[in-house]
Amino acid sequence: YVVQLFYKTSLLSKEQNSVSVGGINTVIRSKAAVTTSELGENYYLIGPYVEDKMRFEVELDEPDDFYIRAAIQAMRDRGIRVVTGRWLIEGSPKVLLFDLATTGARYVEWMRDFWEVTHISVPDTDKESVNAVMFGDSSVGSSESSLVGTPVRK
């Protein structure tokens, strides 16, 4: 599987209305069709769930693959809302979106883990950095219940 993390795109950015289209959004959109055609059903984009954007830009669909479904279920069992589907851009890449609002119960634990690993403190007032840490931990998480820890089919 190839999983591409994306955090700041027009689909996902909470500041979409104040950010001009470009940068990572342009890169992902321009490469999605080619990458999807090359990798097929093994290509996933993951990012944070933003309901306002999701309604118009994602077609809901649950993955067919057993291992991806198992990883998603493990995250859902941890209380993380995961929304799956296809991004309605050229190539229709599969997306896995994590609702950061459902990660709040683990906020203190994840901030402590981030500090212990990086020795970088994240002020509570820096919403962008807090969201990045929460997104990273919800999408990668612990090895027993995340996409990273999911067994790869041989």
Evaluated on CA atoms 111, 7, 15, 56, the torsion sign reads negative
Coil, helix or strand at residue 1 = coil
Residue-level pLDDT at 143: 38
Q: Residue 148 to residues 25, 32, 113, 114, 151: CA-CA distances in angstroms?
A: 24, 22, 17, 17, 8
Of 3, 12, 108, 99, nearest to 52 by C-alpha is 12
List, for residues 10-37, the tens digit of each pLDDT value.
333 333 333 344 567 777 888 888 988 9
- The C-alpha atoms of residue 122 and residue 114 are separated, in whole angstroms, by 9
List, for residues 68-81, the tens digit of each pLDDT value.
899 889 888 888 89
The residues that bridge with 43 in the sheet, in sequence order, are 2
CB contact set of 121 (below 8 Å; sequence gap of 6+): 115
Alpha helices in the chain (DSSP H): 24-39, 51-57, 66-77, 107-118, 127-140
- What does each of the 154 residues of the chain score in pLDDT, given as a tens digit? 455 555 443 333 333 333 344 567 777 888 888 988 988 888 888 888 888 877 888 999 999 989 889 988 988 888 889 999 999 889 999 988 888 888 777 778 888 888 888 888 888 888 778 877 777 766 655 434 444 444 444 4
